[in-house]
Amino acid sequence: MPDASTEYEVLIVGGGLTGLYQLYRAREHGWSVRLLEAGGGVGGTWYWNRYPAARTDSEGYSYAYFMNEELLQSWDWKETFPAQPDLERYYNEFVDRFDLRRDIELNTRVTAAEYDEPSGRWTLRTATGQTFVTRYLVAASGVLSVPHFPDIPGAGEFAGPVHHTAQWPAEGVDVRGKRVAVIGTGSSGIQLIPAIVDEVASLTVYQRTANWAMPLNNKPLSPQEQEDIRRNYPALRELLRRTSGGFVHEDATRKTFEDSESERRAHYERLWNGQGMRAMFSTYADLVTDPAANAEFSRFLAEKIRSIVTDPVVAKKLIPSDHGFGMKRPPMENGYYEAFNRSHVELVDLRANPTRRITATGIESEDRPREFDVIVYATGFDAFTGALLKMGIRGRDGVSLNDTWADGPFTYLGVAVPGYPNLLIDSGPHGTYGNIPRSAEVQADFVTELVNHARAHGYERIEATTEAAEAWTAHVYEAAQYYLLADGAWYVGGNVPGKPRRFLPYSWGIPTYRSKLDEVVAAGYRGFEFATAAVPSPVASGA
């Protein structure tokens, strides 16, 4: 265990897929590096989210690391959309194959990170009292890593087990024959509900906002399909580099009303019977920009829900009335709507029937109290900014990042923040979105080369200029104006009361984001200032 005098060139915070990739790149270039991870194992999302049926909605073979051919050829994806246990095994295999574990500090939650101007170093302190010192702090704490708990009166009074899907115990939760409440119908709730419906005595689902859920249509991959995937990795890599979300689905180019009504209907049916995120990217090019186009596809989905859910009152509750498809990131489902046909499943609409309080025996709603044995929060995350704002980051003059971002994130390229020298961000706000490994690798590669540039020139400080950050932040928000967005979407902070409503990712897609980074590099890292020591006047790049 390092003592207070231990110093690293780079400290990476976060042992999820992004942090592990960044560690691989750091080791590749001979950095003195340590990775700090709050959990007891690696994998990030795929370490913590162990609830039944937790799985990716990206095709597993598109979710892999692509920088090592041996790893690509040796790993078998057993099904199209792998479940949590397989993903956790994958990240452990990655760590062990490249001997990364010796540079990882588990069970190490960062509670303070303070920049010292005279030395040009960051000092990090942890919940267990450890201290780490570094020149460069790389925050790879993840987009979806801080669970959100709604503020419900009496939340601590319930006498039975209470769990959040994002903090699911490794030993599991026994729901057999139990009266279970699930609060939330986002992605995790939509996965969990059908997975436990056959085990519970009763299941009561508390829904604040209905979501448009598309069938995942997962299936096992045959040995021949796995072999085909391995053989076609070069072409797959190119496909993933050119699609806006980094998925295997080609971006739509036709607009909705360029096709006849019958052609549109046939296309919608193909999408319904397709796999994964196809509908989000391959429906029509104007799906999330033209209200009429969006309304038509949303009506098609509403018809599908009504055809599955036998009780028309329940079906109506499950059909979103406050947003169209794609205005939030759509969850993928497997038997979700069918679950509400079961006689022991009840849907409570929180807008019509608000919760008053949680009691020792259950949940009291406006209509009546209900008693439970287990309560599960499936209420999502404080996305993009939550983890960064919990790290106690203080930059120049002790200014807190929480204060700097009080009105929303302020970044250059989603990578750097003026006033916070040598703080570099992987997978935070204002970077891109979509298939997370594909977007995260773009930022991590950029951060790697940025640090290498500083090392090669003898610089010890990297900092974004205020002017560059102002321009980039304005560009992020301006770009989002082209899209139809739901106010309650987690990627605008809408699921967390009091959080500033700002569009948090970069909306123009991975290829455009990559080209923006390439332009910055080609211009000599325009927008960054470099210094050979902490205090002297910086060397501006690309001026």
The SS3 assignment for 96 reads helix
- Token output for 14: 């976060």
Alpha-helix runs per DSSP H in 428-540? 436-456, 466-480, 510-522
Maximal CA-CA distance, the chain: 72
DSSP string, 252-268: P-S-GGGS-HHHHHHHH
Residue 228 main-chain phi, psi, to 5 deg: -65, -40
Distance CA 399, CA 404 (A): 7
pLDDT higher than threshold 70 for residue 543: no
What is the overall mean pLDDT for the chain? 95
pLDDT of 218-242, one tens digit each?
999 999 999 999 999 999 999 999 9
Given pLDDT bands bounded at 50, 70 and 90, which one contains residue 487? Answer: confident
Q: How confident is the model at residue 2 (pLDDT cuts 50, 70, 90)?
A: very low
What is the C-alpha separation between 10 and 454, in angstroms, rounded?
Answer: 13
Which segments within 140-218 are labelled E, that is strand? 162-164, 179-183, 202-207, 214-215
Cα separation, 474 vs 494, whole angstroms: 20
The reported pTM is 0.95
Query: How far lies 451's CA from each of 9, 22, 29, 447, in Å?
Result: 10, 12, 10, 6
**365, 348 contact by CB (below 8 A):** yes
**Which residue in this structure is represented by tokens 């001026």?**
543
Supply the pLDDT for residue 261: 98
> ∠ CA(54), CA(439), CA(132), 5° rounding?
85
Alpha-carbon distances, residue 493 vs 108, 140, 305, 431, 474 (angstroms): 27, 19, 27, 15, 17
Per-residue pLDDT for 493 more than 80? yes
Instruction: Give the model's confidence band at 537: pLDDT under 50 very low, under 70 low, under 90 confident, else very high.
Output: very low
> Which residue in this structure is represented by tokens 């900092």?
463
pLDDT of amino acid 536? 47
From residue 508, alpha-carbon distances to 243, 440, 511 in Å are 11, 15, 8
**What percent of the chain clears pLDDT 90, i.e. is strictly above it?**
95
Model confidence at 542, in pLDDT bands (50, 70, 90)? low
Q: State mean pLDDT over 15-32.
A: 97
pLDDT of residue 452: 98
Is 341 in a helix, a strand, or coil? coil
Q: Tens of pLDDT along 80-114? A: 999 999 999 999 999 999 999 999 999 999 999 99
> Which pLDDT band, with edges at 50, 70 and 90, does 432 fall under?
confident
Question: What pLDDT, on the 0 to 100 scale, is given for residue 290?
Answer: 98
| pLDDT of residue 460 exceeding 90 | yes
